[in-house]
Amino acid sequence: MRYLSLTDADRRAMLAAIGASSVEELYRDVPKAALLDRPLDLPRGLSELEVTRELEKLAAKNIPAGSVPSFLGCGAYRHHVPAAVDYLVQRGEFLTSYTPYQPEIAQGTLQALFEYQTQVALITGMEVANASLYDGATAAAEGVMMANRLTRRTKAVLAGNLHPHYAETIATYARFNGFEVAARPPDPSGNDDPAALIDGETSCVVAQNPGFFGHLRDLAPLAEACHKAGALLVVVVTEPVSLGLVRPPGAMGADIVAGEGAALGNGLNFGGPYLGLFATRDKYVRQVPGRLAGATHDAEGRRGFVLTLSAREQHIRREKATSNICTNSGLCALAFAIHMALLGEEGFTRLAALNHAKARALAQKFAGVPGVKMLNDSFFNEFTLELSRPAAPIVDKLAAKRILGGVPASRFWPQLPNLLLVAATETNTEDEMDAFAGALREALR
Amino acid sequence: MSDWSKAVSGFARDAAGPHDNRGLDIDELLLFEQGEEGRSGVDLPAPADGGDSLGGLRRAGPIGLPGLSEPQVVRHFTRISQKNYGIDTGLYPLGSCTMKHNPRLNEKMARLPGFGDIHPLQPVATVQGALELIDRLAHWLKVLTGMPAVAMPPAAGAHGELCGMMCITAALAAKGERRKRVLVPESAHGTNPATAATCGYEVDAIAANERGRVDLAAMKAKLGPDVAAIMLTSPNTCGLFEDEMAEIAAAVHAAGAYFYLDGANFNALVGRVRPGDLGIDCMHINLHKTFSTPHGGGGPGSGPVVLAKSLAAYAPLPWVVHAGEGFRLVEHAEGEAAQTIGRIKEFHGQMGMFVRALAFMMSHGSDGLRNVSGDAVLNANYLLARLQDVMTPSYPGPAMHEVLFDDRFLDGTGVTTLDFAKALIDEGFHPMTMYFPLVVHGALLIEPTENESKAGLDRFIASLRRLTERAKAGEAEFFHGAPHLAPRRRLDETTAARKPVLRWRPELAAAE
Amino acid sequence: MSILRFTKDHEWVRVEGDEAVIGITDYAQTQLGDIVYVELPEPGKRIEQGKEAAVVESVKAASEVYAPVSGEVTGANAALADDPAKVNADPMGDGWFFKVKLANAKELDGLMDEAAYQKLVEGLG
């Protein structure tokens, strides 16, 4: 078998050195009844060619978003990832290395993480960022638990503009970790103010910007309301490209930022693996979950990087750790860092401007369509349309015509059947927008 | 110079470094120290529209990101990658990490546009192949473990542990029970007690017996109506099969508690033993360990959790279920999923890792997977046989897929486990896991995996034997200074923790 | 006349009148290695003998520090925030952790004197 290096002669020689007559003898500590004596009822091994054929067949049953007009957002955005990114992350030294616990031979990973942490801090406007968490939703849950620890309170308020998967994830963690959640109902108007729910037992408010329905809001007044009550503001960002054009959470008074970074450097991948961005203030760093890369010097005085403040983590602190997280999203963070390095200040800000321009152009296309009402007075690259009829069947109809025309809000909340969430990025062309608008017009006739 | 100044002084643009190149090991500044205005590695058209709908929230002021061209970025990351040791470089014998070969077929399959370029919220009719793949992988996992159900969403092993403990808590709550304690062996991986604590449990440690296994009598003595679960690893972190697993399961179930198995060491058992036959209730599987998905410098992983019938109803959303000829996604807590614990992450799970793991399984087949575990166990026992006369194994054999040594063989040499491991770097190997498990002194846990050739193992054995000789010959000085040949010598982790410098800042460029 | 006592968990307490100064011993700091951070109790906090009162961190370990005596915290060693190395350099002096107003002098009777503690440490090898 192509991945196994031992020959039968090797195996015989090794068994002789061990003093065993068969590999089965080495399993003598396993109760006989539990040892399987024949292969399980699963397919036999296949060559590369055979595996490729099988999996290509499965892949062919899916419609890749890039092969059709596609306008989907809701926390996952299709951007053009430069070719160099995927080439670099596949270098064996990056792809096949482990967590950098032996820093002397892991300076590649550690320097890249240090750069990534810096990039995340810069774009969010915060002081310090960690080396990644699993995704935006678990990052938000970890942010709430961190706020609980810092304030010694146990009630989190969730704004009505928060991504429903994030709200649900926080609610699950709340149920089992023993804290409370007060969630505002979904807010397509973008006007709901969660400040009214803040009291002396609130640990934090979690609000998203741009909001789930696309609206942009100045969160500074909310930050002030939180701080006045001794609570923290956790801001969620699901589209990192927005930070190239929109006022960042750090400039609005956020204490913790939890975000989804996969849109940069990583593909859509049907929702995973994604990338949890996590940033906060320096004074809270000892309560941060997950790994942190730091700078130092080696025995010869050369600058180098190491994982640090490890006493927060599970392998040292065990049941008192700031989080149980071990494996994070390292390679996705590397991809993010490379994409950001290629973009630079000019590229990142221009990419953001382009996305916004595309969304404005798309919004214009719907302006004259009967039965379509735009709900947003502000947006970055995503907004909400209210249709004269239920959106889900229309989306299915469009999909049958090979147009991926947004996500119906009813997928999350059955009580919002006529709302359609639509996103545009730099990858969308005018022809695609015309096709979408035309098909929508047709479907609403 | 204060510690702080020392830490930041290396950041100055005109500092002495990096002129410390050593042949192909080329030193490399940070991106932020090389950036210039007016440069980008991406060409983007200028937006046609000058207006905005930002509601007055346009970002003011520069962000501070450095500008580099594509060749500069490619060189930057290529150079720093060359300072990394990977599985592709050589043997990576980290115990309990299962650093096996990462097949490139997996990477190619995961990047097929039909898998890599599909949005999680596309209409389900347009992603039937993706749902079918998840279902197929779920089937392999259930058959390999002998369990009836599997939760696919968890993002990594620790997340799987959390998922399992949440399901157990929900199952108890459904019976009107609220238990306070979780039993965990002293040798357990740190994520086990951390996970139990996250779910609000008190962690009660069980001692090991002289055979290195969970002491059954001690465990039984700790059982009671307030114990929710035991979290066990088998083979355990000493590389030994917990041969009383069935008795443990019986006792745990009799006490109304659940049996969680940490599947990190499944590589020893895959294709040969089904944990479901031994009475477990749930187990996470690390796809990035047993099923070859790459570690990527720290992640991403994937930790699906197989579940007994008693826990299946609580599995997190979403569920991939059969619907006529195809599949649908259950995304709400209603109908068959009314008792779900809910979502534990966004979207559906680590699809990219599912594709890679399935490609690995299909490549080996059920017959081949027996050879995976067989060669993994053979390799570990070969190391034990060829090293036990010079190093000190903590327990008599046979080992499973990993073998545990402790530092008794270094007694009186002035060389610690840490020193020994750092010297191994100069020999061209990544060190083994050190100081874990905590149950022996100066632990050295070695896991070769199934991919290693005999010649490769013999080279490794020769290096360890040579190092042991040198330690016993009084060369402590050499060991204290190791590594000598790596891209960096030993790093000052004390200052890094006392005066953390966790990012580059513009002020650092001016500091001296 | 000050009284010096020790616990089996390697904490020391030096009492003068009803003020007790608390820290960790030389054996403890050697075992922990380079100290990187100390989490100290806030003034006003009530601590109980035998319960966790502080946490001391090295690069690779974190250890709870248990209160040798009960009482109200009257002060903590702020110098340790900038220079935790003091704990390694002078654990019985400059590396002190916090001060407590003694609630019950009788608690000292149950603790070891210097000679008994030395014997304990010798026994640990």
Tokens 């009084």: give the residue: B474
Q: What residues of B are in contact with residue A298 (Cβ under 8 Å)?
A: 488-492
Coil/strand/helix, residue C50: coil
CA–CA dist B339, B171 (Å, integer): 9
pLDDT at position B15 = 41
Q: Which of B361, B384, B418 is the last residue of a domain?
A: B361
Say yes or no: B120 and B224 in one domain: yes
Coil/strand/helix, residue C3: strand
pLDDT at position B29 = 93
Report CB contact under 8 Å: B272, A338: no
How big is the A-B interface in CB pairs under 8 Å? 732
Q: CA of C119 to nearest chain B CA: how many angstroms apart?
A: 23
Q: What residues of C are in contact with residue A311 (Cβ under 8 Å)?
A: 36-37, 57-62
Q: CA of A36 to nearest chain B CA: how many angstroms apart?
A: 5
pLDDT of residue B348 exceeding 70? yes
What contacts 24+ positions apart, CB below 8 Å, involve A22-27? A23/B374, A23/B377, A23/B378, A25/B398, A26/B377, A26/B378, A26/B381, A26/B398, A26/B400, A27/B241, A27/B272, A27/B273, A27/B377, A27/B398
Q: What residues of A are in contact with residue C61 (Cβ under 8 Å)?
A: 311, 316
Q: What residues of A are in contact with residue C60 (Cβ under 8 Å)?
A: 310-311, 316
Print burial letters for B362-394: b (CB count within 10 Å at least 16), e (below 16): bbbbbbbbbbbbbbbbbbbbbbbbbbeebbbbb
> By percentage, how much of chain B surpasses pLDDT 90?
90
pLDDT at position B12 = 40
B58 domain-assigned: no
> By percentage, how much of chain C surpasses pLDDT 90?
92
pLDDT digits (tens, 9 = 90+) for B226-241: 999 999 999 999 999 9
Report CB contact under 8 Å: A6, B375: yes
Q: Does ipTM come in above 0.90?
A: yes
Report CB contact under 8 Å: C60, A320: no
Q: Which of B361, B376, B394 is the last residue of a domain?
A: B361
Average pLDDT, chain C: 94
| Of A79, A140, A137, A133, residue with least CA distance to A333 | A133
pLDDT digits (tens, 9 = 90+) for B463-476: 999 999 999 999 99
- Whether B225 and chain A come into contact, CB under 8 Å, resolves to no
Residue pair B499/C59 in contact by the 8 Å Cβ criterion: no
Print burial letters for A51-82: b (CB count within 10 Å at least 16), e (below 16): bbebbeebbebbbbbbebbbbbbbbbbbbebb
B408 domain-assigned: yes
Strand partners, C66: C52
B441 domain-assigned: yes
Residues 417-436 of B with CB under 8 A from C: 435
Q: In what order do the strands lie in the sheet with B403-406?
A: B392-393, B403-406, B444-446, B433-434
Say yes or no: B324 and B382 in one domain: no
Say yes or no: B372 and B338 in one domain: no
Chains that touch C (3 or more CB pairs under 8 A): A, B
- Whether A32 and chain C come into contact, CB under 8 Å, resolves to no
Report CB contact under 8 Å: A317, C62: yes
> By percentage, how much of chain B surpasses pLDDT 70?
95
Average pLDDT, chain B: 94
B160 domain-assigned: yes
User: Residue B154: is it exposed, middle or buried by C-beta count within 10 angstroms (0-12/13-18/19+)?
Assistant: buried
Q: Show pLDDT as tens, one digit a residue, over chain A (445 residues).
A: 999 999 999 999 999 999 999 999 999 999 999 999 888 999 999 999 999 999 999 999 999 999 999 999 999 999 999 999 999 999 999 999 999 999 999 999 999 999 999 999 999 999 999 999 999 999 999 999 999 999 999 999 999 999 999 999 999 999 999 999 999 999 999 999 999 999 999 999 999 999 999 999 999 999 999 999 999 999 999 999 999 999 999 999 999 999 999 999 999 999 999 999 999 999 999 999 999 999 999 999 999 999 999 888 888 888 888 888 888 999 999 999 999 999 999 999 999 999 999 999 999 999 989 999 999 999 999 999 999 999 999 999 999 999 999 999 999 999 999 999 999 999 999 999 999 999 999 999 9
**Chain centroid to CA A329:** 9
CA–CA dist A178, A175 (Å, integer): 6
Q: CA of C93 to nearest chain B CA: how many angstroms apart?
A: 20
CA distances from B413 to B36, B416, B475 (A): 53, 8, 8
The count of structural domains within chain B is 2
In sequence order, the 6+-apart residues with CB closer than 8 A to the CB of A158 are A167, A170, A181, A182, A183, A184, A194, A205, A206
Chains that touch B (3 or more CB pairs under 8 A): A, C
pLDDT at position B349 = 97
Choose the closest CB to B73 out of A14, A58, A341: A341
Report CB contact under 8 Å: A316, C60: yes
pLDDT digits (tens, 9 = 90+) for B92-107: 999 999 999 999 999 9
- Whether A297 and chain C come into contact, CB under 8 Å, resolves to no
User: Residue A103: is it exposed, middle or buried by C-beta count within 10 angstroms (0-12/13-18/19+)?
Assistant: buried
pLDDT of residue B209 exceeding 70? yes
Instruction: Name the pLDDT band for B8 (thresholds 50, 70, 90).
Output: very low
Report CB contact under 8 Å: A324, B194: yes
Say yes or no: B216 and B350 in one domain: yes
Strand partners, C98: C22, C76
pLDDT at position A391 = 98
pLDDT at position A387 = 98
Print burial letters for C1-31: b (CB count within 10 Å at least 16), e (below 16): eeebbbbeebbbbbbeeeebbbbbbebbbee
> Which value, in Å, is the radius of gyration of the alpha carbons in chain B?
26
- Whether B262 and chain A come into contact, CB under 8 Å, resolves to no
Report CB contact under 8 Å: C57, B494: no
CA–CA dist A163, A171 (Å, integer): 12
Single-letter amino acid, residue A308: T
CA–CA dist B434, B425 (Å, integer): 13
Instruction: Name the pLDDT band for B354 (thresholds 50, 70, 90).
Output: very high
Q: CA of A316 to nearest chain C CA: how many angstroms apart?
A: 6
pLDDT digits (tens, 9 = 90+) for B431-453: 999 999 989 999 999 999 999 99
Domains of chain A plus CATH, in order, are 65-79+345-443 (3.90.1150.10), 83-339 (3.40.640.10)
Q: What residues of A are in contact with residue C62 (Cβ under 8 Å)?
A: 311, 316-317, 320
Query: What residues make up the domain containing B292?
Result: 105-361
Report CB contact under 8 Å: B341, A274: no
Single-letter amino acid, residue A2: R
Instruction: Name the pLDDT band for B509 (thresholds 50, 70, 90).
Output: low
Residue pair B281/B168 in contact by the 8 Å Cβ criterion: yes
Say yes or no: B123 and B258 in one domain: yes
How big is the B-C interface in CB pairs under 8 Å? 13
Choose the closest CB to B299 out of A102, A329, A345: A329
Query: Which token pair is C78?
Result: 């702020």
Length of chain A measured in residues: 445
- Whether C106 and chain A come into contact, CB under 8 Å, resolves to no
Q: What residues of C are in contact with residue A310 (Cβ under 8 Å)?
A: 59-60
Please state at what angle helix B351-387 crosses helix A8-18, rounded to 10 degrees: 50
pLDDT at position B19 = 60
B269 domain-assigned: yes
Strand partners, C55: C39, C64
Q: What residues of B are in contact with residue C84 (Cβ under 8 Å)?
A: 498
Query: The domain at C3-124 falls in which architecture?
Result: Beta Barrel (2.40)
- Whether A310 and chain C come into contact, CB under 8 Å, resolves to yes
Report CB contact under 8 Å: B498, C60: no
Say yes or no: B252 and B340 in one domain: yes
pLDDT at position C125 = 67
CATH of the domain at B377: 3.90.1150.10
Say yes or no: B475 and B347 in one domain: no
Q: What residues of A are in contact with residue B8 (Cβ under 8 Å)?
A: 295
Say yes or no: B374 and B275 in one domain: no
Tokens 């005085």: give the residue: A301
Say yes or no: B371 and B436 in one domain: yes
Return the DSSP state at B68: -
B460 domain-assigned: yes
pLDDT of residue B511 exceeding 70? no
B97 domain-assigned: no
Say yes or no: B338 and B373 in one domain: no
Say yes or no: B369 and B348 in one domain: no
Say yes or no: B300 and B326 in one domain: yes
Q: CA of B493 to nearest chain C CA: how many angstroms apart?
A: 7
